[in-house]
Amino acid sequence: MQIYADNAATTRMSAAAIESMIQTTQNTYGNPSSLYTIGQVAKEELEEARAEIAAIINAEPREIIFTSGGSEADNQALLSAAMIGKKKGKKHIISSMFEHHAILHTLNKLEKNGFTVTLLPVHENGIIRIDELADAIREDTCLVTIMTANNEIGTIQPIAEIGKLCREKGVIFHTDAVQAVGHLPIDVKAQNIDMLSASAHKFHGPKGVGFLYAKKGIVLSSLIEGGAQERGKRAGTENLPGIVSMTTALKEAVDKMDSANAHKTKIRDYLIKGLSQIPHSALNGDAKNRLSGNINFSFEGIEGESLLILLDQRGISASSGSACTSGALDPSHVLLAIGRIHDVAHGSLRLSIGDEITMEEADYIIEAVKEVVAYLRSFSPVWRDLMSGKKEFILK
């Protein structure tokens, strides 16, 4: 059996997204900046895509700019809000401890340039508290950036409440919604979102394309200088096949969002129940307030990397934290942020399921994980110490 359970790292392109990429590549090869007909046709397709994406998140077309993906959108959002703040003498930024590295590393860069950053705790359930955000907002706060849903543990933040609070305080609110767009309903007006990042390859579109929404009036700084594309805010000939294909994928994802979420939630809860039977294990993050596709467990006394390799041998593609941290020795900052100690965080497994998953596959996964965890424990020195009482169990 082959089961792809790493949709939080990337997704397989849908057939319609591939078809739309081929069609655009073959037929609409003109440069949207050119004045002759095939250029103008490309320009029309580009603007149609922009309008369609804008409509899906309840924004205006002029509020959308296309980027090379989620990381670029995150970088541009943060650097732009920082520039706006700096002009007003406001150099304080609030974020959370478990953001994606595209956010955290950009914040590090801003700190080196004189900004002060407050990272809110995300607590055991992986969710920030509104009262703690309210307390953290200062006179000189120029930006709050909190992700909509976490890529490792799937927990969903109270975005509308954060947006409302930021609007009342006059602070720009950005959300990294890369894991949410196409999976959860987004309405930038109703949720008072000022800036939002998205990436096509997390909703069955192509890699290397995404978008940044920035509310009218927010002046973006460009990361890439050159031509006047994207209203002068992102130079470079537009990736039209990628953009059109992303739009196809997003429309499709939104159309089937409710049924996909209902199905995935059922399988997710079944997997959580099944994996909970493994002794000395624990689910990471809130059990209900999480993405329908996310299951993240810690198993005491084992190494996540070995678990992944043995699961791969059984045809299961999964992850042990985020794709960026796999291979590194440091345990996931997300698991540490929810209070897992190093040893426990190391023995973690993230399954991120797609809507094609079946109940039979879920059973196969549960059996495989049970067997592999038992096998790894059978020769783990840490497990031996735990069993002999030399070390104390952390997970019940």
Ligand X SMILES: *Cc1c(COP(=O)(O)O)cnc(C)c1O
DSSP 60-118: -GGGEEEESSHHHHHHHHHHHHHHHHHHTT--EEEEETT--HHHHHHHHHHHHTT-EEE
Is 102 a binding residue for ligand X by CB under 6 A? The answer is yes
Shortest Cβ 206–ligand X spacing (Å): 10
Judged by CB, which is closer to ligand X: 146, or 316? 146
166 classed as catalytic: no
Considering only residues 166 through 195, tell me which ones interact with ligand X, judged by CB under 6 A: 176, 178-179
Q: Which stretch binds ligand X (CB under 6 A): 36-44, 65-73, 131-139, 188-196?
A: 65-73
Is 253 a binding residue for ligand X by CB under 6 A? The answer is no
Residue type, 177: A
Task: Report which of 298, 296, 293, 299 is spatially closest to residue 268, judged by C-alpha positions.
Answer: 293
Candidate residues 157, 175, 191, 199; the one interacting with ligand X per rule CB under 6 A? 199
Q: Is the dihedral of CA 295, 296, 301, 306 positive or negative?
A: positive
Shortest Cβ 201–ligand X spacing (Å): 6
Choosing from 15, 38, 324, 328, the catalytic residue is 324
Task: Report which of 351, 353, 250, 347 is spatially closest to residue 304, judged by C-alpha positions.
Answer: 347
Shortest Cβ 69–ligand X spacing (Å): 3
Task: In whole angstroms, give the CA distance from residue 313 to residue 309.
Answer: 6
Task: In whole angstroms, give the CA distance from residue 377 to residue 272.
Answer: 20
Shortest Cβ 102–ligand X spacing (Å): 5
Shortest Cβ 60–ligand X spacing (Å): 23
Q: Which stretch binds ligand X (CB under 6 A): 15-23, 63-71, 138-146, 251-259?
A: 63-71
Which residues 6+ apart lie within 8 Å of 313 measured at CB? none
Is 147 a binding residue for ligand X by CB under 6 A? The answer is yes
The 10 Å Cβ neighbour count of residue 83 is 13
Considering only residues 313 through 332, tell me which ones interact with ligand X, judged by CB under 6 A: none
Q: Which spans of this chain sit near ligand X (rule: CB under 6 A)?
A: 69-71, 74, 100, 102, 147, 151, 176, 178-179, 199, 201-202, 210
Active site (catalytic) residues: 324
